[in-house]
Chain A
Amino acid sequence: MKRSTIKENHFSIWDRFHIDIPLMLGLLVLMGVGLVTIYSAGGQDMALIERQMVRLGIALGVMVVLAQVPPMAFRRLSIYAYGAGILMLIGVLVFGDVGKGAQRWLDLGFVRFQPSEAMKLAVPMMVAWYISKFTLPPHLPQILISFTLVFVPTILIAKQPDLGTSLLIASSGIFAIFLAGMSWRLITIVAGLGGAFLPIMWFFLMQDYQKQRVITFMNPESDPLGSGYHIIQSKIAIGSGGLEGKGWLQGTQSQLEFLPERHTDFIFAVFSEEFGLTGVLILLAIYLFIIVRGLMLAVRAQNAYSKLLAGSITLTFFVYVFVNMGMVSGILPVVGVPLPLVSYGGTSMVTLLAGFGILMGIGTQKRLLSR
């Protein structure tokens, strides 16, 4: 039945290079939206656009290269990537460079490297590898071990401290466990435990500045010129955009610099201000399209490892979108998560497109591997 589709027998140039056309189109449109918004948010600075385009080019290159790698190669790599990642995270905590008050970078002499970024892929790979060794759905011992595999790096990254990345990594692993078919009874219990874990996080794991962010999130008007300033200005930007927006380059909150972090984490506020709810709905449609396409590729993948990895990559992409929009519009605390493929910035861009490369590889190579 599967083999009877036209596409199965039709080898296009894109298939040869393992590029999934719908996914690729969705990503490119998103990048275009990103460039247009960065141009406005960055004060019409062409140099900024050029730098972002170089990054996009590099990231797309990484994506295309990874798309060529057979998924089974990743499967074999999983445990080494994860092990190396854990070692580097420990290395960062011991030797790491301090940037912006957090230890995130590891200087290997020839390159400055952010191990937490690599872990965004290594953790789902590891969990997928471990769970797929057994039949699905996983049983309690496997689930407990899987959670351990997730939370060791999560806690190491939260210690750096980098709340946003640890959140993304935790969710990527948990998604793999969820997709593997963890029973609803266990899910309820884990959710309960997670709830119990929150106070532990608050009192033992979170740094003062992270706590401040949460307090600000609860009541930004308590300190309108201090820690609440970002979120208040951001909400004003979004709200004043209205249904139709103020128009490209016409957003007063962004153009007159009332909005902080305009072209990076808060770019969604600029977009909402200038393009309004209408523009936001279109943007969300693009994101939804990419996510649905990603899930489709995951469902169609040939084996459990590929399914779990593809599903986890796709859902983690969604977490980026949801957390970023949530924090910028004031329904989530401000944690440093960019709007994927739209925010200005390099590191997360490469990781994201690397993930999509793996996804495309899984989506397009299934035929070749299945026979």
Chain B
Amino acid sequence: MPIKRQTIRDHTAEANLFARRAVIAGLIVILLLAMVVSNLYYLQVKHFDDYQTRSNGNRIKVLPIAPNRGLIYDRNGVLLAENRPVYSLEIVPEQVDNLDDTLSQLQTLMGITDEEVEDFRQALRRQRRFKPVALRSRLSEEEVARFASRSHRFPGASIEARLARYYPYQDTLTHALGYVSKINKKDLQKIQVAGQEANYAATYDIGKLGIEKYHEDILHGKVGYQQVEVNSQGRIIRTLDVEPPTPGRDIVLNIDIRLQLAAQEALKEQRGTVIISSALTGGILAMYSNPGYDPNLFVHGISSKNYSALLNSPDRPLINRATQGQYPPASTVKPLLGLLGLETNTVTQEYTIKDTGQYRLPNVTHVWRDWRKWGHGDVDLAKAIEVSCDTYFYELAYEMGIDKISDYMSEFGFGDYTGIDLYEESDANLPSRGWKQARFNQPWYIGDTIAVGIGQGYWTITPIQLIHATNALVNYGARFVPQILQGYRNADGQLTPEQLKFLRPIEIVNQDNWDAVQHAMYEVVNGEYGGARFAFAKTPYISAGKTGTAQLFSVAQGEEYDAEKVDERLRDNAMYVGYAPYDKPEITVAVVLENAGGGSKNAAPIARQMMDAYFRLYQPELFASQSANNGEPGH
């Protein structure tokens, strides 16, 4: 039966069966294609936005562009910090036919060392073949020229320029200006904490010291962006969009570079510092700390040998002596102590002591000696300041006590940061009972007070504090923060001045007292016995001031100080603080010379040089009339 069924085929039935199956197959085909289409609809229409975003994420990369750093000018528009191109020789590996050949030829041509080639090969391994790798950075002009004339022989090698900071005044301005250097891990953390990561994404250098660090925000600017299309290997195909960076603002300092240079010249090899400030605003006209160093060394990464030389030098060049140097104020604070005596009615202007050169306290064996062995005879406050009588101030300090001194001197800003626009500032030490108890776990002794009375003992100051206090004195208690920044330039070149920052003023009890003390300082310079009368002889302007000679070495009871016998680093510091013109102060000058000896003999002449320099520049007519007078000696 089955065999029969096979032999007699029903062709029509078979054809119909096949046709039905073919139609079913066709329907299945359509069904499956509909599945494909619905999936494509899902991808291309429903999730189009997602996939478009991911596609753009693949191909579009946003590259940050570093803003150019703002320039720094002095008060007269002299450029103090500029951006200069630095050149490096870079090679794009994939564009070089024979890398070994090219490298050896460049070695001969440019004198590139084997170490540099080795470093290059190391860097090469970490880079994509189409990205440039530096063979030598910081080419000299001569090297640039040498390569440029033969560059056609080196396809794939090129000179690339980047802007880097340059300080034309080198070691003249280091401590005030500071420097920038490559962003390191610590800087990066700070940037992250400040939420500035994006803004610094392309930035190479950051302010590390001085004004460059303090005013980083103004100088840095705002990052720009470049949208580029990249392929799957990260090669840039084309630039799609550019949002240019906003350059940092140019800033103008109160510094007058001519005065700064004059200060450097005056100090020569002498360790110490000179500050000139405006008596009207506290603005810093000059701030020089000696010795300095060349900040350009740091811009491109200082060698560890050079750095340890700076770090370990006994002259401590890295310290800004003007703001970080802590010195006993010595006699420079006598006018302020005198003022306190008058304001508290501890003494009157007429009160007179008899100075025999020695000061004793009842029931105390210790003898405090005046700098002048035989004393100054009858001394009132004016004379005490003029001749810098120690005995008068021993007694005054004893009468006032440490609490009053400490309170009043802190009103003048001692023992505290002045708030100058430098992070490198010390608050030095204004001693008090509480301080001594905390520091040494010892009670305050009366002898401590007497040492403080002549600016010695536990009391230390920074030169900028001395400037600040003197500004407060000549301004009758008004206090403002000493500032290096004068202002910043807007996009249109207009200067937006930095606002003065006022501090709590000192209360005046009787203005007459302030005048008296200022007059006493006038006598220091101009009086018959004034400590600075020789240094300031025949100035065409009238100034006032106070000398100081700070002892760093305790002379044993009954012995005499002999500079020759004392180690050089323990010799007296010479100090001077002064202002001019006396009747209408424009500038305040502070000078501290380490281990230079007496203030009258050593510091006062430097201060005079500074004042001369200032008036020669700003009131040259004063000197014109003087030379005219000097021109007729027989007159």
* Cβ contact within 8 Å between A243 and B45: yes
Closest to B17 in A: A181
- A239: contacting residue among B18, B48, B230, CB under 8 A: B48
Interface status of B435 (Cβ within 8 A of chain A): no
Contact flags A264-296 to B (C-beta < 8 A → 1, else 0): 000000001000110011001001100110010
Interface status of A257 (Cβ within 8 A of chain B): yes
* Cβ contact within 8 Å between B18 and A179: yes
* Cβ contact within 8 Å between A295 and B26: yes
**CB-defined contacts of B6 to chain A, threshold 8 Å:** 134-135
**CB-defined contacts of A330 to chain B, threshold 8 Å:** 39, 43
Contact flags A230-249 to B (C-beta < 8 A → 1, else 0): 00010111111111000000
Tell me the bound Cα distance from A178 to B18 in angstroms.
9
Tell me the bound Cα distance from A299 to B21 in angstroms.
10
- B5: contacting residue among A135, A277, A304, A322, CB under 8 A: A135
* Cβ contact within 8 Å between B25 and A175: yes
Tell me the bound Cα distance from A233 to B231 in angstroms.
13
Interface status of B36 (Cβ within 8 A of chain A): yes
* Cβ contact within 8 Å between A239 and B36: no
**CB-defined contacts of B35 to chain A, threshold 8 Å:** 331
Given contacts A135-B6, A239-B51, A295-B26, whether A304 and B18 have CB atoms under 8 Å apart is yes
Closest to B54 in A: A236
Interface status of A311 (Cβ within 8 A of chain B): yes
Given contacts A256-B58, A256-B231, A258-B59, whether A242 and B36 have CB atoms under 8 Å apart is no
Interface status of B50 (Cβ within 8 A of chain A): yes
* Cβ contact within 8 Å between B48 and A325: no
* Cβ contact within 8 Å between A284 and B48: no
**CB-defined contacts of A304 to chain B, threshold 8 Å:** 14, 18
Tell me the bound Cα distance from A315 to B232 in angstroms.
38
Interface status of B33 (Cβ within 8 A of chain A): yes
Interface size on A, residues (CB 8 A): 50
Residues A198-257 near B (CB distance < 8 A): 233, 235-243, 252-253, 256-257
**CB-defined contacts of A253 to chain B, threshold 8 Å:** 55, 58-59
**CB-defined contacts of B9 to chain A, threshold 8 Å:** 135
B453 to chain A minimum Cβ distance, whole angstroms, is: 77
Given contacts A281-B37, A331-B39, whether A240 and B55 have CB atoms under 8 Å apart is yes
Tell me the bound Cα distance from A134 to B4 in angstroms.
11
* Cβ contact within 8 Å between B47 and A136: no
* Cβ contact within 8 Å between B36 and A299: no
Closest to A240 in B: B55
Interface status of B361 (Cβ within 8 A of chain A): no
* Cβ contact within 8 Å between B40 and A272: yes
* Cβ contact within 8 Å between A311 and B44: no
Interface status of B212 (Cβ within 8 A of chain A): no
Interface status of A329 (Cβ within 8 A of chain B): yes
Most buried by B among A239, A321, A330: A239
B86 to chain A minimum Cβ distance, whole angstroms, is: 34
Residues A147-175 near B (CB distance < 8 A): 175
* Cβ contact within 8 Å between A276 and B44: yes
B231 to chain A minimum Cβ distance, whole angstroms, is: 4
* Cβ contact within 8 Å between B17 and A299: no
* Cβ contact within 8 Å between A258 and B232: yes
* Cβ contact within 8 Å between A136 and B18: yes
Tell me the bound Cα distance from A315 to B40 in angstroms.
22
* Cβ contact within 8 Å between B22 and A299: yes
Interface status of A120 (Cβ within 8 A of chain B): no
Closest to B21 in A: A179
Interface status of A307 (Cβ within 8 A of chain B): yes
**CB-defined contacts of B50 to chain A, threshold 8 Å:** 239
Given contacts A236-B54, A252-B229, A258-B58, whether A288 and B40 have CB atoms under 8 Å apart is no
B226 to chain A minimum Cβ distance, whole angstroms, is: 17
B3 to chain A minimum Cβ distance, whole angstroms, is: 10
Residues A317-334 near B (CB distance < 8 A): 318, 321-322, 325-326, 329-331
**CB-defined contacts of A315 to chain B, threshold 8 Å:** 25, 29
Interface status of B242 (Cβ within 8 A of chain A): no
Across chains A and B, the number of contacting residue pairs, with CB separation under 8 Å, is 140
* Cβ contact within 8 Å between A257 and B40: no
* Cβ contact within 8 Å between A277 and B18: no
* Cβ contact within 8 Å between A136 and B25: no
Interface status of B163 (Cβ within 8 A of chain A): no
Contact flags B1-32 to A (C-beta < 8 A → 1, else 0): 00001100110001101110110011001101
Interface status of A70 (Cβ within 8 A of chain B): no
Interface status of A92 (Cβ within 8 A of chain B): no
Interface status of B458 (Cβ within 8 A of chain A): no
Given contacts A240-B48, A304-B14, whether A252 and B26 have CB atoms under 8 Å apart is no
* Cβ contact within 8 Å between B33 and A322: yes
* Cβ contact within 8 Å between B39 and A242: no
**CB-defined contacts of A134 to chain B, threshold 8 Å:** 6
**CB-defined contacts of B56 to chain A, threshold 8 Å:** 240, 252
Given contacts A240-B48, A256-B237, whether A329 and B39 have CB atoms under 8 Å apart is yes
* Cβ contact within 8 Å between B47 and A239: yes
Given contacts A238-B51, A239-B43, whether A181 and B29 have CB atoms under 8 Å apart is no
* Cβ contact within 8 Å between A272 and B44: yes
* Cβ contact within 8 Å between A242 and B21: no
Given contacts A241-B44, A256-B58, A257-B232, whether A326 and B22 have CB atoms under 8 Å apart is no
**CB-defined contacts of B32 to chain A, threshold 8 Å:** 318, 322
Tell me the bound Cα distance from A1 to B5 in angstroms.
28
Interface status of A106 (Cβ within 8 A of chain B): no
**CB-defined contacts of A26 to chain B, threshold 8 Å:** none
Interface status of B52 (Cβ within 8 A of chain A): yes
Given contacts A136-B17, A137-B17, A329-B39, whether A239 and B44 have CB atoms under 8 Å apart is yes
Tell me the bound Cα distance from A242 to B54 in angstroms.
13
Interface status of A64 (Cβ within 8 A of chain B): no
Interface status of A143 (Cβ within 8 A of chain B): no
* Cβ contact within 8 Å between B29 and A291: yes
* Cβ contact within 8 Å between B59 and A252: yes
* Cβ contact within 8 Å between B21 and A277: no
Interface status of A298 (Cβ within 8 A of chain B): yes
- B40: contacting residue among A252, A256, A280, CB under 8 A: A280
**CB-defined contacts of A257 to chain B, threshold 8 Å:** 231-233
* Cβ contact within 8 Å between B40 and A135: no
**CB-defined contacts of B230 to chain A, threshold 8 Å:** 256
A332 to chain B minimum Cβ distance, whole angstroms, is: 10
Closest to B13 in A: A136
Most buried by A among B29, B41, B233: B29
Contact flags B214-240 to A (C-beta < 8 A → 1, else 0): 000000000000000111110001000
Given contacts A135-B10, A252-B58, A277-B44, whether A239 and B52 have CB atoms under 8 Å apart is yes
**CB-defined contacts of A137 to chain B, threshold 8 Å:** 17
Tell me the bound Cα distance from A243 to B17 in angstroms.
41
* Cβ contact within 8 Å between B22 and A329: no
Residues B103-126 near A (CB distance < 8 A): none
Tell me the bound Cα distance from A134 to B233 in angstroms.
61
A244 to chain B minimum Cβ distance, whole angstroms, is: 9
- B51: contacting residue among A181, A240, A284, CB under 8 A: A240
29 contacts between A and B (CB under 8 A): A134-B6, A135-B9, A136-B18, A236-B51, A236-B54, A238-B43, A239-B43, A240-B48, A242-B44, A243-B48, A252-B229, A253-B58, A256-B232, A257-B232, A258-B58, A258-B232, A276-B44, A280-B44, A284-B36, A287-B33, A304-B14, A304-B18, A307-B18, A311-B21, A318-B29, A318-B32, A322-B33, A329-B36, A330-B43
Q: Given contacts A242-B52, A257-B231, A307-B15, list 7 more A-B pairs with CB under 8 A.
A: A235-B51, A236-B54, A239-B47, A325-B40, A326-B39, A329-B39, A329-B40
User: Using a CB–CB distance below 8 Å, which chain A residues touch chain B?
Assistant: 134-137, 175, 178-181, 233, 235-243, 252-253, 256-258, 272, 276-277, 280-281, 284, 287-288, 291-292, 295, 298-299, 304, 307-308, 311, 315, 318, 321-322, 325-326, 329-331
Closest A-B pairs by Cβ, 6 of them: A239-B51, A240-B55, A256-B231, A239-B43, A257-B232, A240-B51
User: Using a CB–CB distance below 8 Å, which chain B residues touch chain A?
Assistant: 5-6, 9-10, 14-15, 17-19, 21-22, 25-26, 29-30, 32-33, 35-37, 39-41, 43-45, 47-48, 50-52, 54-56, 58-59, 229-233, 237
